[in-house]
Chain A
C-alpha cells in the first residue's frame, strides 16, 4: 500500500510525490498530526495566511479508508486567516478514503494559480485544470459541472462555494455536497489560491494482513454497538438528539449566549426533526452508526445534516426557534460553503449589537435585525458569502466585525483567538470552557471533547484525573488534568482518521488503537509510542502558535462567561473561574505557568528539539 505526500505548486504547475518517511509516520501518524508537522516546516511567522506562500494541507488519517470501521475522517490544515495561528477543519464523508485508494496520504498545495483551477488526481496522474466557468457557482452546481466535465460520477470532490472564493474567513471546504471541513477559514485559504476544487479518483486496494482478523474485529465492534443503547439512540437521531440534553443541562446558547435554557425545546428537538423533515439515514465511509440524515425542508431534497451545532448556531443563538427556517439556513450554508457555527455566531452577534443600540437597521442594508427573523438570517448568510453590504463586515467573523463597530461590541463577540465558540455554554461545563481557551485552533469542542465531565463516574475521575470533582460539571478542580488527558487521546482519532463516535468505546485508548494499526498497515506501534505521538502533536501545535506570538494571554474566554452569571435554568448563577484551571492544565502539560510556552525540557523529552531550536525565543 502506497503512503505518499503529493506536493502541488499552483504557481509553477509542478507536482511531485514522495513516500512518507517511516520516522514521520511514527512520530506524527497522519491526518491532523502529520499535517501539523508539514505546516510547521513549510510556513513561517511571515507567512500571510491568504498569500501564496501559505500551504493548504489535506491529510487522510493513518487508518482512513481502511477496513477499520468509521475510518472516513480527514483534516485540512493551513495557517489560519481567522486566528493567525494553526488552523484546521476535519470532515467525514468519502473524500479521505478515496485519497487512500489513490495511494495518497497527504496533499500539500502551495502557490497560487493565475486563473481559477481545480486539481484532478487519478492514482499517479495529477492535472491542474482551468475552470473559469465554474468559479462563482454554488457547491452543488460546481459539483455537478465537474462531474459532467470529467464524464463520471465515480470521483470524490472537495470544493469551495462563493464564500471561499471571496475569502470569507468563515468559509468552509465541502465534500459530498453537505459535509464540511468548516473551521479555521480553510475555505478562504483555498479561495486565495484560486483553487475551486480538488478531485480524486483512486483505484488501488488497501492492505489487509488477514481478513479473518478483520472479520473478528468487525464482529467485536458490532457486538459492542448492539449492546449499547447509546448507539441505537445515536444511530436514530444523530447529533440532533443533543438539543434536548444540552438544554436540560442549561448550556444551550440562546441569543448570543445571553441565556442558556429554554422552557420548551420541543419545536427544535430531534423528535420534530425526525418526524417532519428527516427522510433517510446517511452514512460516511464504512460506518455502522450512520448518524447523519438526508432531510427536506422546502429547498429541494437530498440536503444532509443537520447537526446539533448547526441547528443551535442558526437557531437559538440567533433567537430563531423555527426549525424549518433553521434547516433552510443550514442548506444555504452548505450550498454557499459557509461554516454554520462561524456564520451563525456572526449573525447572533449582529443581532445583539442591534438589541443594544450599537448598530441600526440602516447600518445593515435596511434589514430587520430583530431576534429570530428567519428571513433576515437567510439574507445575511448570502451577504456574508458574497461579501455584500453588511455581509462584508460579518464575513470575517464576529471578532473582527466587533473591532469595526466599537469597544462595546467587542464585549459581545463570542470567540477565542478569533474563532467562534460552539454551542455549549461553558458556565455550566467548566472543562469545556478550559478546552475552548487552550485549543490550538481557537474555540473548539473537539480538541478535548471532555464529555467525561458529565458522564464519568466519580471513581473513574479520581483514578484518572486525581479528584472526583473532575466529574462534577460545576467544579474547577481536576479540569486541567481532564482536558490534557482528553486532548492527548482525542488527537489520536484525528491523526488516525477515526470518527469520534466510534472512539467513545474502548477504542479511545492507545492500547486498543495500537491493536488496529497492524491489521491494515504494514506497521506496528506500541501503545506507548501512540501515547507519545498524541502528546507530541499537541505540543507541536502549541509550538506553531508560540512561533506566531501566542502566549497565556491568548488562552482566554469572552468576558461574558467570566463575569455574567446565567439567569435561569439548571446552570443558573454559574460563571467560569478560568485561571486556576489554566494553571492546572499548564502544570499537567509541563508548560511555563507565566507564558504558556512548552518548556525546553518537555519539548526535548518529546523529541521536538529540532522544532524548538527553530524558534528564536528558545535560543536564549
Chain B
C-alpha cells in the first residue's frame, strides 16, 4: 500500500466534501484504477462529472484533465500511467486563456 494526495477543483469539492485528501491505495496503481476507485467511492454524481466532455479546438475531449505530479495523463493512456507512493494526483477542469 502507498499514500497518494488527490487534489479536487471547485466543481468536484461539492461532491467529495474536501479540496484534497490523502488516500491509501495499492501502489503502483494505474490512473484508470484510481479514477475507478474514486467513482466507486463518491458515487454517481462524481462519475457523471468525470464523464463530462468539452470542445477544444473542434475536438471532443474530457472536461477534467488528470495530472500526476504535474504531468498530464491523457485519457487512453491512463491504464499505462502508474501512480507511485507519495504522488500527487490533481483533477483540473479544462481551461484556456490568460
Chain B positions within 8 Å of A423 at CB level: 98
Number of interface residues of A (CB under 8 A): 50
Known: A230-B55, A244-B9. A569 touches B70 (CB 8 A): yes
**Does A451 make an interface contact (CB < 8 A)?**
yes
**Does B11 make an interface contact (CB < 8 A)?**
yes
Measured CA separation A457–B96 after assembly (Å): 15
Verify A308–B98 contact, CB threshold 8 A: yes
Known: A239-B97, A570-B69. A230 touches B63 (CB 8 A): yes
Chain A positions within 8 Å of B77 at CB level: 458
Interface centre among B57, B70, B98 (most CB of A within 10 A): B98
> Chain A nearest CB: distance from B51 CB in Å?
11
Verify A454–B74 contact, CB threshold 8 A: no
Nearest first, the 5 closest Cβ-Cβ pairs linking A and B are A570-B70, A451-B96, A506-B58, A445-B98, A230-B54
Could you say which of A245-253, A515-523, A526-534, A547-555 contacts chain B? Answer: A245-253
Interface centre among B11, B70, B77 (most CB of A within 10 A): B70
Chain A positions within 8 Å of B69 at CB level: 570
**Does A504 make an interface contact (CB < 8 A)?**
yes
One of A308, A454, A459, A460 near B97 (C-beta < 8 A): A308
Measured CA separation A512–B65 after assembly (Å): 27
Please encode chain A, from 532 to 575, with 1 for each CB lying within 8 Å of some chain B CB and 0 for all others.
Answer: 00000000000000000000000000000000000001111000
One of A248, A270, A309, A504 near B67 (C-beta < 8 A): A248
Measured CA separation A271–B19 after assembly (Å): 12
One of B61, B75, B98 near A449 (C-beta < 8 A): B98
By size class, the interface of chain B is: 20 to 34
Verify B93–A233 contact, CB threshold 8 A: yes
> Chain A nearest CB: distance from B75 CB in Å?
8
Chain B positions within 8 Å of A509 at CB level: 57-58
- Taking CB atoms and an 8 Å cut-off, the chain B residues in 30-56 that contact chain A are 52-56
One of B56, B59, B92, B97 near A500 (C-beta < 8 A): B97
A-B pair count, CB < 8 Å, reads: 113
**Does B3 make an interface contact (CB < 8 A)?**
no
Q: Which residue of A lies closest to B63 (CB)?
A: A229
> Chain B nearest CB: distance from A33 CB in Å?
21
Q: Which residue of A lies closest to B77 (CB)?
A: A458
Chain B positions within 8 Å of A474 at CB level: 71
Chain B positions within 8 Å of A451 at CB level: 56, 95-97
> Chain A nearest CB: distance from B94 CB in Å?
5
**Does B10 make an interface contact (CB < 8 A)?**
yes
**Does B4 make an interface contact (CB < 8 A)?**
no
**Does A228 make an interface contact (CB < 8 A)?**
yes
- Taking CB atoms and an 8 Å cut-off, the chain A residues in 152-181 that contact chain B are none
> Chain B nearest CB: distance from A246 CB in Å?
8
Measured CA separation A572–B69 after assembly (Å): 10
**Does A452 make an interface contact (CB < 8 A)?**
yes
Verify B74–A457 contact, CB threshold 8 A: yes
> Chain B nearest CB: distance from A66 CB in Å?
22
Verify B95–A229 contact, CB threshold 8 A: no
Chain A positions within 8 Å of B97 at CB level: 239, 242, 308, 449, 451, 500-501
One of A242, A457, A506 near B61 (C-beta < 8 A): A457
Q: Which residue of A lies closest to B71 (CB)?
A: A474
**Does A508 make an interface contact (CB < 8 A)?**
yes
Measured CA separation A61–B96 after assembly (Å): 22
One of B7, B9, B63, B72 near A454 (C-beta < 8 A): B72
Measured CA separation A248–B72 after assembly (Å): 11
> Chain A nearest CB: distance from B62 CB in Å?
9
Verify A229–B52 contact, CB threshold 8 A: yes
**Does B76 make an interface contact (CB < 8 A)?**
yes
**Does B90 make an interface contact (CB < 8 A)?**
yes
Chain A positions within 8 Å of B11 at CB level: 233
What are 23 A-B pairs with beta-carbon distances under 8 A? A228-B53, A228-B55, A230-B54, A239-B98, A242-B97, A269-B10, A270-B10, A308-B97, A445-B98, A451-B56, A455-B94, A455-B95, A456-B57, A457-B76, A460-B59, A471-B74, A472-B71, A501-B97, A504-B56, A504-B57, A512-B58, A570-B67, A570-B90
**Does A473 make an interface contact (CB < 8 A)?**
yes
A451-B56, A500-B97 provided; 15 other pairs, C-beta below 8 A? A230-B93, A233-B11, A241-B93, A242-B97, A242-B98, A245-B95, A270-B10, A422-B98, A455-B61, A457-B61, A457-B76, A458-B74, A569-B70, A570-B70, A572-B70
